Structure 1
Amino acid sequence: MNILLVTRNFPPLLGGMERLNQYLLQELEREYDAYLVGPKGANTHVAHPERVIACPSTPVSVFLIHAAVKAVRSARRYRPCLIIAGSGVNALPAWLAAKASGTPWVVYLHGLDLVVDNILYQQIFLPIIRRADAWLVNSHATARLAIAAGLTANRLSILHPGVAIPETLPSNDDVRAWRKQHSFGNRPLLLSVGRLTKRKGLREFVLHALPTILVTHPKALLVVVGEEPHAALTSATIGINALRKAAYQTGTQESLKILGNLSDEELGLAYRAASVLVFPVLDIPNDVEGFGMVAIEAAAHGLPTVAFAVGGVPDAIGNGCSGCLIPPGDYPGMAKKSN
């Protein structure tokens, strides 16, 4: 039996949804012959590269045009028992493929793809999403947004993202070598991982929490892993310069280190080297955090997360177990628990 996954959100593109769809494909391959209509370069990130039908990844409109044609052809050729759109923006090619082949189809929704403030998306993509036979959502918060957007509750299922537990963790020697490579010495590390969007709240953390933390731990260092997003649904980025400016405003510039994107191996070392992952997400109505996959990735490496209880984040953190949930906007509380 075949399954067809249609998604631009897949490596080599970076982000939580991209990693989630990669894991989804891996799990599907345990039971099915799973085919992927995805971005160029995806064949190097799968177990069966011969089952990848690649499309240009940028701009998004070009991907969707190519994906629509190739998804229709693939659905007719492979006759899948199910077609999955990996996110809301991929619903168009998945829907066309489903119509062309008479195949049931579902959409995996992540929060932002229900409420994004884009007229074209709201007028074209949301009506197509509503036509799906069923929907998967990544959290209880996203489920509420889906119902508010007109999706039928009894055809909607919550499927929390998961991650692979590392078979082995980096050794202490490897962690020390990584610290030495970046001149971190023995400084306590606060880690932030994710794309530099306004929603992640990192600028506000630097302005309102980091100075308080440094009073108690003057050698603490905020290590930022991630870059500005490219061709995302929302353009609300903070920018590296804005982050550095916030650090200069608070006199914390010597306690901020921006590493950009890291390989999976280096990210594993960062998780093991850090004392805590900070996830100070902002509560923005049209730019929601649907889950918080980075928190479970950190937990898989033994690193606790301190986060604001915003959007779907509470679904990703076991409060008092894998981390600590703080009321939204409580920066003194965030600083206290991050110490």
Structure 2
Amino acid sequence: MYEEILCITHKYPPFTGGMEKQSYELIQGLSSYYRVHIIAFEGKENKLLWFLKLKSRVKKLLKANPNIKLIHLNDGAMGVAALWLQKITQIPVVVTYHGLDITYPLTFFQKKLIPKLIKYKGAVCVSKFTSEQCIKRGFDPRTTFIVNNGVDLKLNEIPFDSAIAQKLGEKYGIDVSGKNIIMVTGRPVKRKGFSWFLKNVMPLLDNDVILILTGALKKSQTFFDIFLRCFPKMLRHKIQLLFGYPDDNKEVIEQLKKQRNAVHLGRVSNEDLIQIISLADLFVMPNINIPGDVEGFGLVALEASARGTYVLASKVQGITDAVIDMENGTLLPCENAEAWADKIKEMLSDKEKLKILSEKGRNFTIQHFSWQKMVDEYIQVFDGFIH
């Protein structure tokens, strides 16, 4: 007889992103152990309307399924939106926290909402850093758990397409012959350190090094960007954080114009992205410190490692839970350009050693960061509240 649980999430396919992927893989994995009821935002209606209807939908589902023993909310924003659960049910509620959803620097959030989030029965944190931030704010260490995100092991099974170098020339106009390739991907938000790397590290590297960036890149300001300029700087920063900013688009574009050996491909297909990562000699995650903004984990680094590309990452925040120094990558001091340049030169100077380290990193990531491992650890946490 399967125990019954309810999973509520506003981050779910068909939408894409790290949290959407984590939410999907978690629910799919839990479904093999529990009878899982799901209330997920899947884009079939306006998101505000979905949140407004959520309370009535949950009450209806709980009434129809009285054997539900646990409710899981997949991020802190969901925890805030569903605070009414604390009044309508005695069923234990466990919330997953990813980073910014606990550190968001708005005074009202920290002073008024965090104390309410603490009242949920349990917290699952995606990294040690996020756990420390929760406990620092008053969460009970006995009911605050760390469960790292996983990575899709199927990435390791996709064969390398040796034609990708030729494709880069034909499709994107890039000649990588005779080049050492460094790769970075993602949306250019300031904490990712893309413009910092372009400005401070690339000029220190040899001319045979090329940096390839992928991901969305806005080349013109949106109405929202213009609207934000109406607010005082500090308030503008907090609004930007709430909506996934502050972005680094302008600085990245300016630096790209100054660099001969850096190119931004924009959005690429997932198939091309996987092959470009595999072609790269190194994958970098050069995060910098931005007040109020944090990196809760480092999923993109794990994906690169699973493809057999060695990772260099900043030793900061939740990245240190994903990149284990000298196991599946090397951690470097944040915003230290000389240290970054020296390590890159060292790694590229001995390709045989780099190949060995890359393979070691791939094996470590596959062994320690599977989605199944993540699911098993969630089950252990959930069972502790159910039984």
**CA separation in 1, counterparts of 2:184 and 2:49?**
32
**CA separation in 2, counterparts of 1:299 and 1:210?**
22
Per chain length, whose mean CA-contact separation is higher, i.e. which structure has more relative contact order (CA < 8 Å, sep 6+)? 2
Offset of residue 139 of structure 1:
1.2
Aligned residue pairs total 318
Q: Specify the code of the residue in structure 2 equivalent to 1:196.
A: P
- Taking structure 2 as the reference length, the TM-score comes to 0.74
Instruction: Classify 1:12/1:126 alpha carbon distance in 2 versus 1 (closer, same or farther; 3 Å).
Output: farther
Q: Which residue of 2 aligns with 1:282?
A: 288
Q: Which residue of 1 aligns with 2:36?
A: 34
Instruction: Specify which of 137, 150, 159 is matched with residue 149 of structure 1.
Output: 137
**CA separation in 2, counterparts of 1:188 and 1:66?**
53
Offset of residue 109 of structure 1:
0.7
- Taking structure 1 as the reference length, the TM-score comes to 0.84
**CA separation in 2, counterparts of 1:159 and 1:182?**
39
Which structure has greater helix proportion?
2
SS of 1:321's equivalent in the other structure is: coil
| CA deviation string 1:44-67 (max 9, x = no partner) | xxxxxxxxxx6533xxx5543233
Q: Which residue of 2 aligns with 1:69?
A: 56
Instruction: Classify 1:190/1:233 alpha carbon distance in 2 versus 1 (closer, same or farther; 3 Å).
Output: same
Is 2:264 aligned against 1:257? yes
**CA separation in 2, counterparts of 1:68 and 1:177?**
54
- Contact 1:178–1:269 (CA under 8 A) maintained in structure 2: no
Instruction: Specify which of 158, 167, 171 is matched with residue 169 of structure 1.
Output: 158
Instruction: Specify which of 284, 304, 315 is matched with residue 321 of structure 2.
Output: 315
User: Unaligned stretches of 5+ in structure 1?
Assistant: 42-53
Q: Specify the code of the residue in structure 2 equivalent to 1:157.
A: F
Instruction: Specify which of 183, 191, 194 is matched with residue 191 of structure 1.
Output: 183
**CA separation in 2, counterparts of 1:267 and 1:70?**
39
- Contact 1:72–1:101 (CA under 8 A) maintained in structure 2: no
1:107-122 equivalences under 5 Å are 107-122=95-110
Instruction: Classify 1:14/1:195 alpha carbon distance in 2 versus 1 (closer, same or farther; 3 Å).
Output: farther
| CA deviation string 1:252-293 (max 9, x = no partner) | 056221423x44433322321222221111123411111111
Q: Which residue of 1 aligns with 2:88?
A: 100
- Contact 2:287–2:314 (CA under 8 A) maintained in structure 1: yes
Instruction: Classify 1:266/1:189 alpha carbon distance in 2 versus 1 (closer, same or farther; 3 Å).
Output: same
Q: Specify the code of the residue in structure 1 equivalent to 2:172.
A: H
Is 2:248 aligned against 1:243? no
Compare CA radii of gyration and give the structure with the larger one: 2
- Contact 2:195–2:248 (CA under 8 A) maintained in structure 1: no
Q: Specify the code of the residue in structure 1 equivalent to 2:57.
A: K
- Contact 1:4–1:34 (CA under 8 A) maintained in structure 2: yes
User: Unaligned stretches of 5+ in structure 2?
Assistant: 219-223, 225-239, 346-387
Q: Specify the code of the residue in structure 1 equivalent to 2:124.
A: L
Q: Which residue of 2 aligns with 1:325?
A: 331
Offset of residue 128 of structure 1:
2.8
Instruction: Classify 1:12/1:193 alpha carbon distance in 2 versus 1 (closer, same or farther; 3 Å).
Output: farther
My pick for the range that moved more, 273-282 or 176-185, is 176-185
| CA deviation string 1:131-150 (max 9, x = no partner) | 11011011111111001111
Q: Root-mean-square deviation (CA), in Å?
A: 2.6
Q: Specify the code of the residue in structure 2 equivalent to 1:18.
A: E
Q: Which residue of 2 aligns with 1:233?
A: 242
**CA separation in 1, counterparts of 2:64 and 2:280?**
49
SS of 1:259's equivalent in the other structure is: coil
Instruction: Classify 1:24/1:257 alpha carbon distance in 2 versus 1 (closer, same or farther; 3 Å).
Output: same
- Contact 1:140–1:158 (CA under 8 A) maintained in structure 2: yes
- Contact 2:294–2:317 (CA under 8 A) maintained in structure 1: yes
Q: Specify the code of the residue in structure 2 equivalent to 1:224.
A: T
